[in-house]
Amino acid sequence: MDVADLGLPVEVPSTALFTDQYELTMLQAALKAGTAERRSVFEVFTRRLPNGRRYGVLGGTGRVLDAVENFRFDADILGFLRDREIVDEATLTWLAGYRFSGDIWGYPEGEVYFPGSPVMRVEGSFAECVLLETVILSILNHDSAIAAAASRMASAAGGRPLIEMGARRTHELAAVATARAAYVGGFATTSDLAAGFRYGIPTVGTSAHAFTLLHDRERDAFQAQVNTLGRGTTLLVDTYDVATAVRTAVEVAGPELGAVRIDSGDLLLVAHRVRQQLDELGATRTKIIVTSDLDEYAIASLAAAPVDAYGVGTQLATGSGHPTAAMVYKLVARAGSSDPGALLVPVAKKSSGGKTSVGGRKWAARRLDADGVAEAEVVGTGAVPDRLAGRQLLVQLVKGGEVVAREPLDVPRNRHIAARANLPLSATQLSRGEPVIPTEYLHDGSGS
C-alpha cells in the first residue's frame, strides 16, 4: 500500500469551522489589543494516560496535516460568521486571507508517548496558531485513543491478523478515521470501503446473517456465496447450528473453503470444536475467524484457541473504554512584543486540581538502557544534552506553512511496531499499571 496521505482521492472541504467560537473571539480581541502577531508556541500533550494504560500511541498526525492545509475561510464561511455576528468586519477581513505560515513539529505518527510528552508543537503568530486548537485536538484525541486500543489488541493477538469492523458503531466520518488509526495501531484490514478508498487500507467482507436468513436453506445461502465469491470465501456458520453449518460449508465449498466465521457463543469452546470438525472433514487449511464484541481482554483469552483472525468493532471504535486521549493544546511560550526578534518568554497555567502545565518551548528524547530498551521519556527546554541529541523524538511536519512530512500509511504502522518493541516487556501486559517508563523534566529557564 503506497497511497495513504499522498494526495487523497477525495476532495477535502474547508476545516475552518471545525473550531470553537472562543478561538475567533480571542482572535478579535488580540487583533484589537495589538498582541495577535506576537510569536507564540503552543504544545499538545496529555497530563495522564487513561487509567491503567502503560503507554499511548500517537495517531492522526497525517490527518492534522490535511486539516491545517485546508483551514481556509471561504465566502460561505465568512458569510456565516458575518450573519451570526460572531466577529467584527476587521476580523473577517483578516480571516479572509488566513493561511497558516508557521512551523509544526511533533512526534512522528505511530510513535508511543507518555504523560507530558510534547507530541505536537505549533509555532507562529498567536493569531494563526490559536485558531488551530480545536481541529488539532479533535483529530489527535480521537485517533490516538483508537490507535492505543488497536495496539493493545494487536499485542494480545500475538501476530494473528485483526479486522477493523466498527463503522456501524460510530459516526460515519469517524468510522473512516477509526479504520485509519486502527491500521496504524496494528490492524491488518477494514470492512469500511470509505477508508479503503481514501487511505488505501486493505478491505475485506463477505456476508452477514441476513444473507443466510434470506434463503430457504442454509445450504442455498452457502452455495450462492461460493458461486459468486469462490471456494476461498468466508462462510458465517452460527446462524443456526454451528456443527451442521460447518459440515454443510465443507460439503458446498470442499476442503478449499477459505474460512468460517463464528459470531456468537462461547468462542473458546466453539473454536476448538470447529477446528476439530474441519480437520476431520479434511478442511485442514480452512481458517477460523471470530467476531462478537471482542476487546483486548477477550482476544487474550483466546490465545490458546485455534483462531486465525479476529474481527473487532464496538470496542475498537470506542477506544476500548477510553474514547479520548485527553490531550490539551496549551500556550507554553510567547514573545514580549510583536517584534520578530523578541525573545520568547515561558508561560504556564497555574491552578489546582491537576491542571497545571510546564512553560517553555520543549524538546523530547527517549533515554535507553544498556540493552537498548527505553527507560525514560526526557522532556526539557533550552539546549539538548549531548547524550540525548541522537534520541530526539520531535520531527518537523510543517515548515513556513508548507507540509514537509507526508508519508504512506504503512510507515507509521511499521514505526509503531518498532516503537512498541523498544519498550520494556511489561508495556504489553493487560493488567493495570503505571506508565511503563517515567517522564523526567530538564529545565534551563529559557523559553526560546
Q: Give the span between the Cα atoms of 139 and 144, in whole angstroms.
A: 8
Output the pTM of the full model.
0.94
pLDDT at 3 over 50: no
The CATH architecture of the domain made up of 160-319 is Alpha-Beta Barrel (3.20)
Q: Map 333-399 to HEC letters.
A: EEECCCCCCCCEEECCCCCCCCCCCCCCCEEEEEEECCCCCEEEEEEEECCCCHHHHHHECCEEEEE
Cell numbers that stand for 236 in this block = 458465517
| Tens digit of each residue's pLDDT (9 = 90 or more) over 306-345 | 999 999 999 999 999 999 999 999 999 999 999 989 999 9
Residue 179 contacts residue 164 (beta carbons within 8 Å): yes
Does domain 21-146+322-442 match CATH 2.60.40.2240? no
Identify the pLDDT of residue 407. Answer: 97
Identify the pLDDT of residue 445. Answer: 44
Q: Is 397 exposed, middle or buried (0-12, 13-18, 19+ CB in 10 A)?
A: buried
Q: Where are the beta strands (DSSP E) in 158-232?
A: 162-164, 189-190
Say which amino acid occupies 198. Answer: R
Handedness of CA 306, 311, 313, 319 (dihedral sign): positive
pLDDT at 4 over 60: no
Helix (H, G, I), strand (E, B) or coil at 225: helix
Q: 21-146+322-442 and 160-319 share one CATH topology? A: no
Q: How confident is the model at residue 11 (pLDDT cuts 50, 70, 90)?
A: low
Helix (H, G, I), strand (E, B) or coil at 167: helix
Cell numbers that stand for 307 in this block = 483462531
pLDDT at 98 over 90: yes
Q: Where are the domains of the chain?
A: 21-146+322-442, 160-319
